Structure 1
């Protein structure tokens, strides 16, 4: 495969009539990294991915790959490949021919395309199933066929649109590890669209959080989770309290929030919910100011000193753990 280059979006915009789906975003995807576009439905992440792939027309802006603006090139000439959410495998073709289909359309000889298809199937550990039809495969196996079909074109950037959404939770976790393994082995850029926070945190070298057609925050996964810059990012990533203090609005992780006796914490609150979550118990309390705060307490500690609904408790934290928010 060709040595990967950075992919840069410059004032990239997508309009549907009067509706702005992507609003002049700028971002550089570093070569050879796993990036996740993360956000709620309608935030613009899928439109961004489809513009990069060439499946949506760019309204304004540029997409730079290998020092070339690819925004108006056909998909086959961009140096990208896309794996669709539905996998879109041909039911009448066997696995090998599904993987080799794009090479067939490009006029590659049958011996060469079958050789390359088998190399890709070996990469995704499906070489023994080359003669099966898609309906003879599990969901996870179909996904790996779709991956092999995308990778056979030797792209610089692989684009993945909600690739795990059709899988059951157990298989989804297994396939996350498979995607990460492939990205590391191939050394190419993966750009993965998801609305799943856990998925993005598990996979991404970089997370780009989108909201209302714009990039809200971008950075390493640990930075996005530990140091959200806005209330939206803190709330969307989960696991945070967003509270108003005299010094301003802050984000405070729920596992950095502890319970204390009433009157002995920074604030008091009345317990409104208790949820057992295996290793932890999530305790939500409403303060006198009407703010809901959650403390994620180790289960062993909680059951040593259980708390009841309606009980008044103190909520406390270290000042260094309360991160100021810009908006």
Structure 2
């Protein structure tokens, strides 16, 4: 694969779909792309947020899991998702907004010579906002004139993912061999002694980074509510997705078959530190939807064509654990 690949989307586990909807749409101001169902478990909602055109590189998705436990922080796990914002002035706006809505945050900090705010989403999901790099063009991003967030301070896209791993060199080398991202170098993780290896893509329109934090101090994460379930990397077409499948086979790495999600096709595998990655095709195959409804329960359930014939059954399954559709 070439180094232009991007972080397609990031998926998070939460225990309450309506609470997550209210946070990501009504506090962060993200656009709802669709309210659908987990295709492996029809009792679970799957909610997609993105820019107003639903572009890969801007997507964060939420799985609702009614039963389970809170995420237990640890290594061999994705540590934090950071979104891109236009400026330091934007961070000041968000600092005030987080105070207004009682969102736990840690103030404006500096990391890799960029300003950011780390904060917690629903179920204490570790998130952050970071100022876009100097070489990025804000004209490449789609902002929404009708957003509840001022135009000049809106979240633009995904920016980076942090991962804590036992063997960073293994994850780094694997990621470079699969996606050909460039080595940005090493740094230390905020005010700790932990070493961080950073890789970045070379995409002019959607710049992304992944940070591998060397962590031998914390136990292995026990994933639950608030944890980042997986990170998806883009591939151009189904043919290049098949090339990924072949590469994984040559490495004797266990992976899923290629799955038809309706919206795109993808494959799942775990890297040498057991980080769960998805590789997904870029084309988003779905009809454009305008959601005017403000309440989660009023938003219709969107299903890909191959699940539409099961709508009645799926809606019954969702009702088992929920009082809203």
TM-score with structure 2 length normalisation? 0.30
TM-score with structure 1 length normalisation? 0.30
Determine which structure has greater relative contact order: mean sequence separation of CA pairs < 8 Å that are 6+ residues apart, divided by chain length. 2
